[in-house]
Amino acid sequence: MVVLFRGRCQLVQVCLFRAFAATEASSLVPFRYTELVFASFFGYVLFGELPAMMVYLGAAVIISSTLYLSYSEIRRAKKQKGYGTC
């Protein structure tokens, strides 16, 4: 089982490297947050660990700040192209 798990992890890394080579990193960031969900899930299933409250708080800060920055960048880009004018 350990060999299978290790091989799967290496496959995930190879796919991740290819994805970053194929596109901009900013477009892949939302998919990287799934790592937090899977790490929490496998930590619970394999080791019986639950993340501490500070982990949830940190994840909320990181995700909300990334969403805010993405939203503000989209608004700024639209404004520069003239889409936001009335």
Query: Residue-wise pLDDT tens for the chain (86 aa)?
Result: 444 455 566 777 788 788 888 887 777 777 777 778 788 888 899 999 998 999 889 888 888 887 888 788 888 888 888 765 55
Give, in order, the Cα–Cα distances in Å from 26 to each of 17, 50, 68, 69: 14, 29, 13, 11
CB atoms within 10 A of CB 58: 13
CA-closest candidate to residue 44, choices 78, 4, 52, 64: 52
50 by DSSP, 3-state: which?
coil
